[in-house]
Structure formats: C-alpha cells, structure tokens
A = this chain, B = another copy of it.
Amino acid sequence: MRQNKEPTVILGVDPGTALTGYGFIVEGPLGELKTLDYGVISTPNGIPLENRLLIIHAELKRLVQLHRPASGAVEKLFFQKNVKTALSVGHARGVVLLALAECGVPIMSYTPNEVKQAVSGYGSADKNQIQQMVKVLLALDDIPRPDDAADALAVAICHLHSRRFENLANEDET
C-alpha cells in the first residue's frame, strides 16, 4: 500500500571550480515536482584555487543547512576526456562530496547517460532536449539558467526517479 510521504527535498549538484550548479527539488503529494531553489555558486577568476574551493565548500554547506535535503546527487565524471579538466572538476567535486558528507547528506552518483535517460527517457538526448525536459518536469516558465543550474536540476530529477523505482520495487517485495 502506498504510504503518505513527507515532502522530500532532493539536491542535485554539478561541480566546477568556476561555477558549481545546484538545484533543490521537492516531490509534492501527487508526485509532482517543484523547484525549491536553484542557481550557481560562482567563484572569481584569478584567485587561488584553494580560495575558490573555500567559497564552494562554505556556500554549499550554507545552502544544505537552509534546505536540509534528504539526499544529494552528483554526476559521475568519468566522461571527462581531458585530463586537465578532469583534475580541475575533481578538485571541486571532492569539496562538494566533503561538504555533503559533513552535513550528513547521503550521496548518490549517476552517469551522464543515467541522467539523460531519467529526464528524457533517451540516453543520447542533447543538451537542449534535456533542458526543455527539466523545464517541463519542474513546470517552470523558462529553461533554468545558467546551464550548470539546469544540469544540477536534471541530476536531482534523475535521483528522484531512481528513488521512485526503488520504492516501487520495495512495494512489490512486501
């Protein structure tokens, strides 16, 4: 039997040293999705990397303490073809994972294909299609900007869909 659920806040993050996208979404009583908050943590060019990481870490913890997500989702990054980019994104991703773990937020990772599949039902969807689907699924008037925020919301939606499947599977078993 389906149980009444408390509205559950889900966080999606798209890490980067210059821009880290974030999106907090909630699932309403009828399964409808809503955005609670989204945007980017932006760090200035030309400051030392460690100062950028300090900003990302502090700002993400502030947002998590504000919205208290039940869980967080971060994209897996093995798709990075460029070693320099992978290393740079790795720094930001490490600090993002640390901030969530410090706040006791369980973390799931999804591949880019899993995110595309969950949002659009199509693993090879392009960026614009994904963004259109994010807009529709979250009943927004416009595509969320910048791209990093839209990507973060897509990861959050992917995580929420994945939780639904798990719940369905658990219901089947009981």
Contact = CB atoms under 8 A, between A and B. Distances in A.
Contacts of A83: 78, 80-83, 86
Interface in A28-58: 48-51, 53-54, 57
Nearest to A54: B101
Contact of A91 (B78, B81, B93, B102): B93
What DSSP secondary structure best describes chain A's contact surface? helix
The copy count of this chain in the complex is: 2
Interface string A83-119: 1101111111111011011100001000000000000
A64 interface: no
Contacts of A94: 53, 90-95
Contacts of A98: 50, 53-54, 57, 95, 98
A57 B101 CA distance: 11
Nearest first, the 5 closest Cβ-Cβ pairs linking A and B are A90-B90, A91-B94, A94-B94, A50-B101, A50-B97
12 contacts: A50-B98, A51-B101, A78-B84, A78-B87, A80-B83, A83-B86, A87-B87, A88-B90, A90-B93, A94-B95, A95-B95, A98-B98
